[in-house]
A and B are shown apart, each in its own frame.
Chain A
Amino acid sequence: MKRATQSTETPQVGRSVPRLESWLKVTGRAEYVHNLRLPGMLYGKIFRSSVAHGRIKRIDVSAAQALGGVHRVVTGEDVRKLVAEPYYGPAFHDQPVLALDKVRYVGEPVAVVLASDPHVAEEAAHLIVAEYEELPAVYDEVEAMSSKAIVHDTLKPAGTFPDLKHLKGRTNTNVALDFHLRRGDVQKAFAAGHRIFEHSFRTQQVMHTPLEPLVSVAESTESSLTLHTASQSPSFVRSEVARLLAWPENRIRVRVPYLGGGFGAKLYIKLEALVAVLTLLTRRPVKISLTMEEQFFTITKHASTFRIKSAVAPDGHVVARECEVWWNGGAYADIGPRITQKSGFTAAGPYDIDNVLIDSYALYTNLPPAGALRGFGIQQLVWAYESHTDMMARALGADPVEFRRRNLLRDGRPQATGTVMRDAALEKVLDRVCVLLDWSKPFDRGAGSVRRGRGIAIGFKACVSPTTSVAAVNVNADGSCTVYCSTTDMGQGSDTAMAQIAGEVLNRATESVSVVHSDTGVTPYDMATLGSRSLFHMGNAVKLAAEDARRKLDQLKSELGLSAEAEIGEIFKKKYGMQAGNVLGTGSYVPTYKSPDQNGLTDNATPFWMVGGSGVELEVDTQTGRVRITRLVNVADVGTPINPKIVETQLSGASIMQLGFTLFEKMQFDASGQLRNASLAEYKIPGFLDIPEAIINEAVVAEQKTGPFGAKGVGETGTFSVSPAIANAIEDAVGVRLTSLPMTPEAVYMKLQESK
């Protein structure tokens, strides 16, 4: 390792530096909240609702309370004594810390048992009895539009989003956001005699299943509260818990070590409000660790229904597109309304279409809540519009690549919202997918019962905006430097990337730069680690902070009469007469943004575009319906990679995760809203035997001019196009079209039977 105090001329950006925490992770010593035990700590075990929708008539905790070793049992009414309005959420203040008056899905937290021994807490939780007056429930997102079953009596938008204000106080509806976009005149274009295509697609509810299940620990004094939590959004946790308690933010400290995976599951408030209340009620440290099973009752990915209709002119141009999307948000809105709007921007796909109509609805239902999962709704959309695109190309007898190429958005052209495309390498990504898939070469179509096919797809995403990141870079008296930022490293390598950026600016070897993990008592504000935003936003903030430090050091050099080449250590020695002092650079970054108008139009929808394309070669066994992927190609525009190896592993890992959502993962509910497969025994995630024979990942040569050293985010990009590329390849292989996920062997087999 280079000495931390020495400067280096070696470029730090563009190097495939191994993750800074590598040693910690391969020796099992990385810090996770999972590992934390505090003196006097109580373990909490949650008692959950057994009905999907009901009024709470009675909760009998007496037997649980009487069990030896139980410290206390807490219900929603106890919470209400401490917090008058104990409802939280980023978009709606709709989710109670513990159920109050009503329960809205099976698995909703109703009470908590606290004990020093987690086994005692668990045993006691089984002794709690609750009685409910059951109410009619609704589970399907389309039915929820008109259902008589109403999940929330009154809508309570948080007030932070202007586009939710009109929903305040609304009753008798399950619609938690309706987003509408109107561009051109769709009706006129549909009436002009062009070929019209209309299809519907569905996606299923799935779960992130981070292998470190959700976990939070809280400790308190009479005037302060510290949360140690596996969170992707420490700044939000602090402000939301402060709001609930009516405390100033500086009395609440949120610490986040490494995360054992996040994928969007660990955003906003999950267990943090609950453990905060519990420590304040008991004056003891409290830890709640969910089991894998309980995670399924906490946060999931939206199921969706998407109706898409297009008009195609004789020259092969798509001239009009109508999109209607229903998002199944479950019982609490979480960030669903944001997903509905932001993904609504791009629901018509990366195509240059003059007339676009988009209606996108976030719905409440009586299922576990849905939130962000590695794409903010993008996969559900790409699944639909790229399947639709292929179906049209086939019906028109056009090559699916040529059909896309003819309609693709070019840089400088306005996208559906009116925002002009910049630094979005759509054409290049499509070209490279085709090259890597040998699209123009002859293809072996298989024989007998094993048929081969191939397919491609391309998707894009607008990054959530506007969001703020603030960073600080401290240069110590010996010349070493430390980055302070609230970005959470959940495996995506953000610590390493931020160190590379600071090292590049300050001529320090990346390996010598320290990164202080999120601690709201120390690290500055960051909106959250989500939506592939951190490398761009926090990367820009860290770059600005490092440049600020460098400017201050240069100024000191000139004040002290030192040469420009002087080592940093010399500056401090000369200024303070010894190795003392420090220089702190700060930087903040918030991109410009314009809210959409009443037609959903804005000329500034996003700070950057993400582009991801996939190509698939596969085999279908026509006797079993089993799909075997022989080659998967993922190509992305990530700007100029800061760390090429980490970029590659992000693309690869994201595509493998999406394979699970495409081929087998599905939360299965019975008619009364009971989840039947809440464990890894029955809910299978991809393992070694599920990965394709070959995976090829590539970042095209590109530059995001507004990004730090030309870079932009990559965490989600590899997921975008996997599902439709597979559906397109299945049709190519065996001539049947699947329009619902997952495409299990049974589903493929049934389609094959139908087509006979």
Chain B
Amino acid sequence: MRREIRFRLNGEAVSAQVAPHETLVELLHGGFGLYGARESCGQGLCGCCTVLVDGRAVSGCLYLASLVEGAEVSTVEGGKELDAVQQAFIEASGFQCGFCTPGFVLMTRQLLDEIPDPSEEDIKHYLSGNLCRCGAYPQIIEAVKLAARKRSRA
């Protein structure tokens, strides 16, 4: 039942044996020991399982692993140094428990790629698919604005 797939994971060529029902989050956990994308609501509603596939955010708890065949997969663990978004989340206190944070970091990167200088409304709407039960939303807005400034300076 398992078949081999090949794809790029955080810039590295990899391969894996996957079952038909296996999700991308299960593959990242079981196959690669990457736990930054995590299942929470299990319905693609909270954003904790966010993974970028060919630069687009997907819900890794619903997205079938076999679909990443040939794709470029990016998780929060990619990159050796903290980027402007991660630094901004730290400086603006954009998290508390940290469970939802990888999803917010990845979505913010995608947001700033599309809209380099987002308004508050842009930020709220773009990130509305990510939930934070600690309620760090006001600080996340600040973090996104700060990340935008950091990026424009870079």
Complex: A159 Cα to B147 Cα, angstroms? 55
* Closest chain B residue to A694, Cβ basis: B138
Complex: A18 Cα to B124 Cα, angstroms? 24
Choose from B96, B123, B131 the contact partner of A680 (Cβ within 8 Å).
Answer: B131
Complex: A491 Cα to B94 Cα, angstroms? 11
- Are A490 and B139 in touch, CB under 8 angstroms? no
Complex: A686 Cα to B138 Cα, angstroms? 12
Output the least CB separation between B145 and chain A (Å): 14
Would you call B135 an interface residue if the criterion is a C-beta within 8 Å of the partner chain's C-beta atoms?
yes
Interface segment among B1-9, B65-73, B100-108: the answer is B100-108
Complex: A210 Cα to B41 Cα, angstroms? 10
- Are B42 and A263 in touch, CB under 8 angstroms? no
* Closest chain A residue to B88, Cβ basis: A26
Select the residue from A680, A687, A688, A689 with max chain B CB neighbours within 10 A: A688
- Are B97 and A260 in touch, CB under 8 angstroms? yes
Choose from A653, A679, A688, A689 the contact partner of B134 (Cβ within 8 Å).
Answer: A653
Contacts of A258 in B (CB 8 A): 97-98
Q: Count of chain A residues with Cβ under 8 Å from any Cβ of B?
A: 55
Complex: A208 Cα to B133 Cα, angstroms? 9
Choose from A37, A645, A656, A680 the contact partner of B93 (Cβ within 8 Å).
Answer: A645
Contacts of B125 in A (CB 8 A): 688-689
- Are B46 and A680 in touch, CB under 8 angstroms? yes
Complex: A709 Cα to B77 Cα, angstroms? 38
Contacts known (A27-B82, A680-B43); A646 close to B135, Cβ less than 8 A = no
* Closest chain B residue to A656, Cβ basis: B135
Complex: A293 Cα to B133 Cα, angstroms? 16
Select the residue from A34, A491, A657, A686 with max chain B CB neighbours within 10 A: A491
* Closest chain A residue to B139, Cβ basis: A649
- Are B82 and A654 in touch, CB under 8 angstroms? no
- Are A24 and B98 in touch, CB under 8 angstroms? yes
* Closest chain B residue to A490, Cβ basis: B97
Contacts of A24 in B (CB 8 A): 98
Q: Which of A611-655 contact B (CB under 8 A)?
A: 645-646, 649, 652-655
Contacts known (A26-B105, A689-B124, A695-B138); A653 close to B40, Cβ less than 8 A = no
Contacts known (A212-B40, A685-B131, A686-B135); A649 close to B96, Cβ less than 8 A = yes
Output the least CB separation between A237 and chain B (Å): 19
Binary B-proximity of A423-454 (CB < 8 A = 1, otherwise 0): 00000000000000000000000000000000
Contacts A24-B98, A25-B101, A262-B97 known; list 15 others, CB within 8 Å. A26-B76, A26-B98, A28-B37, A28-B75, A211-B41, A292-B42, A491-B96, A491-B97, A492-B96, A679-B41, A680-B45, A686-B137, A689-B124, A691-B135, A691-B138
- Are A681 and B43 in touch, CB under 8 angstroms? yes
A-B contact pairs, 6 of them (CB 8 A): A27-B86, A28-B101, A652-B138, A654-B135, A687-B137, A688-B123
- Are B36 and A652 in touch, CB under 8 angstroms? no
Q: Which of A190-216 contact B (CB under 8 A)?
A: 208-213
- Are B42 and A291 in touch, CB under 8 angstroms? yes
Would you call A77 an interface residue if the criterion is a C-beta within 8 Å of the partner chain's C-beta atoms?
no
Contacts known (A119-B21, A685-B133); A28 close to B77, Cβ less than 8 A = yes
- Are B41 and A680 in touch, CB under 8 angstroms? yes
Would you call B127 an interface residue if the criterion is a C-beta within 8 Å of the partner chain's C-beta atoms?
yes
Would you call A350 an interface residue if the criterion is a C-beta within 8 Å of the partner chain's C-beta atoms?
no
- Are B100 and A211 in touch, CB under 8 angstroms? yes
Would you call A563 an interface residue if the criterion is a C-beta within 8 Å of the partner chain's C-beta atoms?
no
Choose from A26, A260, A686, A689 the contact partner of B90 (Cβ within 8 Å).
Answer: A26
Output the least CB separation between A410 and chain B (Å): 33
Would you call B95 an interface residue if the criterion is a C-beta within 8 Å of the partner chain's C-beta atoms?
yes
Contacts of A646 in B (CB 8 A): 93
Contacts of B137 in A (CB 8 A): 656, 686-688, 691
Contacts known (A28-B75, A210-B133, A211-B48); A18 close to B91, Cβ less than 8 A = yes
Output the least CB separation between A411 and chain B (Å): 31
10 A-B pairs closest in CB distance: A28-B36, A260-B99, A491-B97, A25-B98, A656-B135, A491-B96, A653-B135, A28-B76, A26-B86, A35-B35
Q: Which of B2-53 contact A (CB under 8 A)?
A: 21, 29-30, 34-38, 40-43, 45-46, 48
Would you call B136 an interface residue if the criterion is a C-beta within 8 Å of the partner chain's C-beta atoms?
yes
Contacts of B95 in A (CB 8 A): 25-26, 491
Binary A-proximity of B116-154 (CB < 8 A = 1, otherwise 0): 000000011101101111111111000000000000000
Would you call A259 an interface residue if the criterion is a C-beta within 8 Å of the partner chain's C-beta atoms?
yes
Complex: A222 Cα to B74 Cα, angstroms? 44
Choose from B37, B82, B127, B133 the contact partner of A26 (Cβ within 8 Å).
Answer: B82
Contacts of B35 in A (CB 8 A): 28-29, 32, 34-35
Complex: A19 Cα to B132 Cα, angstroms? 17
Complex: A698 Cα to B90 Cα, angstroms? 21
Contacts known (A292-B42, A689-B124); A657 close to B135, Cβ less than 8 A = yes
Would you call A30 an interface residue if the criterion is a C-beta within 8 Å of the partner chain's C-beta atoms?
yes
- Are A211 and B46 in touch, CB under 8 angstroms? yes
Would you call B63 an interface residue if the criterion is a C-beta within 8 Å of the partner chain's C-beta atoms?
no
Would you call A377 an interface residue if the criterion is a C-beta within 8 Å of the partner chain's C-beta atoms?
no
Binary B-proximity of A249-293 (CB < 8 A = 1, otherwise 0): 000000000111111000000000000000000000000000111
- Are A23 and B99 in touch, CB under 8 angstroms? no
Would you call A585 an interface residue if the criterion is a C-beta within 8 Å of the partner chain's C-beta atoms?
no
Contacts of A35 in B (CB 8 A): 29, 35
Contacts known (A25-B95, A258-B97, A689-B128); A657 close to B139, Cβ less than 8 A = no
Would you call A493 an interface residue if the criterion is a C-beta within 8 Å of the partner chain's C-beta atoms?
yes
- Are A681 and B98 in touch, CB under 8 angstroms? no
* Closest chain B residue to A30, Cβ basis: B98
- Are B93 and A26 in touch, CB under 8 angstroms? no
Would you call A223 an interface residue if the criterion is a C-beta within 8 Å of the partner chain's C-beta atoms?
no
Contacts known (A492-B96, A645-B93); A213 close to B40, Cβ less than 8 A = yes
